[in-house]
Amino acid sequence: MRTILLLVCSNVFMTIAWYWHLKAHNLPLWKAILFSWGIALLEYCLAVPANRWGFNNGFNGFQLKMTQEIITLVVFTGFAMLYLGEPFQWRYLLSFVCLLGAVYFMFKK
């Protein structure tokens, strides 16, 4: 559970680092890059221990990556809708269902 919680938190920071500047039209690109690097540092401080603890407690590398990708999609969906004001469309939901199928097969033994 600690791994999942840290991955969620790290993905919140990374989503903000990658996409917050899309609405900051007047900010010079170099400033957006520096600010994003600062946010990404916080993301790495959470992602590295999450992956290490997960790997040492039953997850393999493929499972960690697939879990991280699903978390990224969930976090980004909230960010895109709440911050960017983008509507959620039915085809996104179908895409996510396909990815959840991938997660199922990744963890199936």
pLDDT at 101: 87
Q: Is 95 left (phi over 0), alpha (psi -120 to 50) or beta?
A: alpha
pTM: 0.84
Res 109: pLDDT: 75
- Give residue-wise pLDDT tens across range 57-90: 999 998 899 899 889 999 999 999 999 999 999 9
pLDDT at residue 48 in the model: 96
Amino acid (1-letter code) at residue 61: G
How high is the pLDDT of residue 66? Answer: 87
Residue 86, helix vs strand vs coil: coil
For residue 8, the model assigns a pLDDT of 97
User: Based on the number of CB atoms within 10 Å of its own CB, is 4 exposed (0-12), middle (13-18) or buried (19 or more)?
Assistant: middle
Q: Structural domain boundaries of the chain?
A: 2-107
